[in-house]
Amino acid sequence: MSDVARIAELIEDQGRAIDEFKARQDARVNTLEAEVRELLLKANRPFIGGGNSSHTPDMKAFEAAARALITGKQEKANELFIEAKALSAGSGPDGGYVVHDVFSSGMTKVMVELSPIYRLARKIPMPTGGAFEEPIDRETAEATWVGETQSRTDTNTPKLGAFRVELKEICAMPKATQTLIDIASLDVLGWLQGKIGDAFASKESDAFHNGDGVVRPRGILSYPTEATADSTRPWGVFQHIATGVNGAFPAFVVASSADILIDMVTALKPQYRKGAVWLMNRSTAAVVSKFKDAEDRYIWQQSLIVGQPSTLLGYPVEIDEDMPDIATGSLSIAFGNIEKTYTIVEQPGIKFLTDPYTDKPNVRLFAYRRVGGGANNSEALKLLKFSA
């Protein structure tokens, strides 16, 4: 065989070897991609972009990540895995900005369970804008009887007030390692959802009671109170009924232990009594639930149905741990229609930003939402003040 023929045969053998190598590598890549896809589908893994919802992961991004991993580009592979998860529910103009329906509904469920105010108040969705405003019709018109030839005089003209509540921001920023998010067998984001939901619920419930309205909602207990009736008290000031004793209920005889509570009910106008509830924490409830009437019967009716509240003087009792304990000057019991008293405004959804870059090897998960609150009707709620 001539030298030219041998060279040609060698070149042909090398070409076949290269083709076989490429075929083996392509097969390896395809096998790994198939395995990744199969594992993801079998595990039904939750992703940052929406949990176990109708959203599916971006398989092209996962395939690109597998290729980057095979070729030794570990950092690029990690970024692509995070990108695939973060973009599975769609991203906003800031990159990685998403609104999670499943995440939002899960956290809302936690807040409803932990905060009676959130569950009972009037809620206004705010898709756009930074504040909610509405007129308040808080004055009545006058009328007078006149004879046929008697002169007519001017009567007062009622004025409208304004109610305004601004959105505030609450946030949380836990972090998890990339490895944990990528390979953990547990539902990392479901676990974080519960934890963040608990934190949001606790902070918001506290704000709905005690907030100053500056960087958080204004709470019901932050408004001024007076002992005067609705007709003589300024709007925006709640009426309190004093017990007459600092830090305690009055020392009535057994037959009259509930008299001060009856005073609260009768102080509330009839139009607000439908839907009215009691608010108190469990230590206060332990005291009130022992009151008896003249027939030695408990005025507190314990619920016999799971999920249904007990009643006091015929009205449901909501155990609210953000109401204060009985102490000198405390406002430990409230009675009224919360829906007509308090308004919560909120932007729909929980916003989520993922940051896999600034704190490697951790991924920061920034969750936030905008919510505000304020009392729109100071006549629809009465407070029991433990003072002389």
| Residue 351 to residue 108: CA distance in whole angstroms | 13
Give dist(CA 300, CA 292) in Å, integer: 8
239-284 confidence digits (pLDDT tens) = 999 999 999 998 775 556 688 999 999 999 999 999 999 999 999 9
The domain segmentation of the chain, as residue ranges, is 28-90, 98-136+159-215+345-375, 220-343+378-385
Q: Average pLDDT in the 329-350 region? A: 94
What is the bridge-based pairing of β-strands 311-312 and 315-319?
Answer: antiparallel
For 332, how many CA atoms within 13 A lie in the half-sphere containing its CB?
24
Q: What pLDDT was estimated at residue 98?
A: 46
Q: What angle (nearest 5°) sits at the alpha carbon of residue 83, between those of residues 77 and 88?
A: 135
DSSP state of 359: T
For range 354-363, the mean pLDDT: 81
CATH classification of 98-136+159-215+345-375 is 3.30.2400.10, yes or no?
yes
Q: Do domains 98-136+159-215+345-375 and 220-343+378-385 have the same CATH topology?
A: no
- Average model confidence (pLDDT) across the chain: 79
Enumerate residues 6+ apart whose C-beta is below 8 A from 236: 223, 224, 375, 378
Beta bridge partners of 170: 369
Going 75 to 77 to 82 to 83, the CA torsion angle's sign is positive
* Claim: this prediction has a pTM higher than 0.85: no
Residue 153 has pLDDT above 50, yes or no: yes
Handedness of CA 326, 329, 334, 340 (dihedral sign): negative
Longest dimension (CA), the chain: 139
CATH of segment(s) 220-343+378-385 = 3.30.2320
Instruction: State pLDDT tens for residues 223-241.
Output: 999 999 998 999 999 999 9
Cβ 96 vs Cβ 357: under 8 Å: no
| All residues at 6 or more sequence positions from 148 whose CB lies less than 8 Å from its CB, including other chains | none
Among 61-65, 135-139, 157-161, 244-248, the minimum mean pLDDT is found in 61-65
pLDDT surpasses 50 at 19 = yes
Kindly state the DSSP code that residue 212 receives in the 8-state scheme.
B
**Residues 54-68 pLDDT 10s:** 344 444 555 555 445
Residues 6+ apart with CB under 8 A from 146: 152
How many H helices and E strands in the chain? 11, 17
Give how far the C-alpha of residue 178 lies from the chain's centroid of Cα atoms, to the nearest Å. 27
Three-state secondary-structure class, residue 271: helix
